[in-house]
Amino acid sequence: MKCLPWFRRLMLAAIAGAAVTPPLHAQATPEQPAWLLRRADVYVATRERWRGIRRNAHPILQGDALAGVRLGRFTASAGGYAAVELGNTKLEPRTDLRAGTLGFSTTSVWGQVAFATRAWTLSGGAIRERYRRVGPDPAVWEVYGTVRYQRGRWAFSTAYWQAVDGAEGSYVEPAVTFFHFVNPFAGPIITWSTSLAGGIQLAERNPDAGAVVPGPEGTGLTHVVLSSVIRTAVPLFAGSALLVELGPYLQWSVDSAARRRRDGSRAAPLSVWMPLRAGISYPLRRPQ
């Protein structure tokens, strides 16, 4: 389903084969010429990274929802996302992160259209992300496009973002994923996939009017990350599911923003962590 603000998480989840990138598809029978889509998720995450940059000081509560319509191979959808920091960040020295008491850290709204075949998925849209701060709350509008191709157990994708307001610059994230195991049958859905992804900042992000917004501090390669994630979805009631994701991440960071510690110093380029995400998802999605 920003794990990739909501869109960052959702894009990474799509790369990893979790099938939560917008549009988040509801199930439908083949004879239906058109049908409505809906999606809602609420979960807690221990580690949030976006474009290789850590975005939380404490575990965060995240929620997202969407609505849309599918007509044949085409889909149009829109939705929103919000994140709440579950702790007092006190005097957070990283100016692009939220400082203060428990509360919202990021909110987003988005809309997109997509075209899908058995192997290819093409999508594009726009997203507005607002970053909550003690003082002014900066916001950034971006347009984006994604190309994804799947052949057998392999999936290849490239995502592109272009800032149009609140910041400048463009960013590209290619990725390749291998699916070790997928259980599409009744009962718990278990998916195990390994992904290799990287980020490239094509032009300086340059926030408008000196606003402090997250993003790489330079240009070129920002990071490379290797992850292996096990995702389990346990059916609950009324079509919902308990979702748990766990797996190691190994990241080589190049950009200064991806290596920044809380005290302002730079960490070693290589980092390893084991994030946990758990929550409720509706409706239950099965691999197709």
> What's the pLDDT score for residue 6?
36
Instruction: Read off the pLDDT of each residue in 3-7 and give the average, rounded to a whole number.
Output: 38
Residues 6+ apart with CB under 8 A from 175: 15, 156, 157, 158, 159, 195, 196, 197, 198
Whether 229 is covered by a domain: the verdict is yes
Q: Count of domains in the chain?
A: 1
Structure confidence by residue, pLDDT tens digits, 134-148:
677 899 999 999 999
Whether 288 is covered by a domain: the verdict is no
Structure confidence by residue, pLDDT tens digits, 192-212:
999 999 999 999 999 988 788
Under the banding of pLDDT at 50, 70 and 90, the label for residue 286 is low
Residue position matching structure tokens 């990893």: 16
> What's the pLDDT score for residue 184?
67
Most confident of 35-49, 92-106, 166-180, 196-210: 166-180
What range defines the domain where residue 177 resides?
A: 7-282
Question: pTM value?
Answer: 0.84
Whether 47 is covered by a domain: the verdict is yes
pLDDT for residue 16 is more than 90: no
CATH, residue 57: 2.40.160.40
> What's the pLDDT score for residue 210?
77
At 45, the amino acid letter reads: A
> What's the pLDDT score for residue 260?
86
Contacts of 246-249 spanning 24+ positions with Cβ under 8 A: 246/274, 246/275, 246/276, 246/277, 247/274, 247/275, 248/272, 248/273, 248/274, 249/49, 249/225, 249/273, 249/274, 249/275
Whether 2 is covered by a domain: the verdict is no
Structure confidence by residue, pLDDT tens digits, 267-285:
899 999 999 999 999 997 6
Whether 246 is covered by a domain: the verdict is yes
At 23, the amino acid letter reads: P
> What's the pLDDT score for residue 120?
97
Q: 250-279 in b/e burial notation, b at 16+ Cβ within 10 A?
A: ebbbbbebbbbeeeeeeeeeebeeebebeb
* φ/ψ of residue 12, rounded to 5: -65, -35
pLDDT for residue 7 is more than 70: no
